[in-house]
Amino acid sequence: MENALPPIPVKRYFTIGEVGELCGVKPHVLRYWEQEFTQLRPMKRRGNRRYYQHHEVLMIRRIRDLLYDQGFTISGARNKLQELVQGERDRRRAGEVPLDGMEAVEIDQEEFDAAVTEQEHEVHLPLLQVEASQLRMLRRELFEIRELLSVGH
């Protein structure tokens, strides 16, 4: 069933429909997975609209691979994800942190609202126009997420 998934665009937030297309699953499946995999916690805004971040799209692809391609059960996939998180913690304790020295970035509500408003108006920059600072910010966010996962989630 190895279908090639489309590349994930460089942007901060994705709607449930976009994530469904990027990951090859229907929105109702994503909502179900949120209940089964506590690591999936999309931001919610206005009428419970879900907004997923890049790391969550990657996690959903990992879950999809475990369930659909590798044949894991939900429980087995949950355990496998936990093993992966534990392995990451162990590597960090051993000093294998490829992104060390990066600072954590907090996203405040104004920044989130502005990004979502921009997305709702479908203002998308071509990939070639993405500034290096945006890529650095994404890298810092991913590091922050990695840190959060290593603190017992």
Write out the DSSP string of 99-150.
TTTPPP----HHHHHHHHHHHHTT----GGG--HHHHHHHHHHHHHHHHHHH
Least confident of 37-41, 43-47, 130-134, 143-147: 130-134
Topology adopted by domain 13-150:
Multidrug-efflux Transporter Regulator; Chain: A; Domain 2 (1.10.1660)
pLDDT digits (tens, 9 = 90+) for 72-100: 999 999 999 888 878 878 877 887 654 43
Residue 85 has a pLDDT of: 77
Question: Average of pLDDT values for 22-51?
Answer: 93
* pLDDT higher than threshold 90 for residue 132: no
Write down the domain spans for the chain: 13-150
Q: Please state whether the predicted TM-score (pTM) of the whole model is above 0.75.
A: no
